[in-house]
Amino acid sequence: MVVATTAARWLPTSAPPRKYLKKLNDSMAHRVIELARS
């Protein structure tokens, strides 16, 4: 998916905390769902 590859580009090279990853993942999933609905 394009969104996932774009997000991978903005992620810092050092691994972010798990909480941050989960939050990012949740917000991305939300956006994908919104886009799919429209």
Q: How confident is the model at residue 14 (pLDDT cuts 50, 70, 90)?
A: low
**Percentage of the chain lying above the pLDDT 90 cut:** 11
Note the pTM of the prediction, 2 decimals: 0.43
User: CA 38, CA 33: separation in Å to the nearest integer?
Assistant: 9
N- to C-terminal Cα separation, the chain: 17
Between 24 and 34, residue with greater pLDDT: 34
Single-letter amino acid, residue 20: Y
Q: Which domain holds residue 7?
A: 2-37
Number of domains present in the structure of the chain: 1
Whether the pLDDT of residue 4 is over 80: the answer is no
Task: State phi, psi for 16 to the nearest 5 degrees.
Answer: -75, 160
For the residues 3-31, what does the mean pLDDT come to? Answer: 75
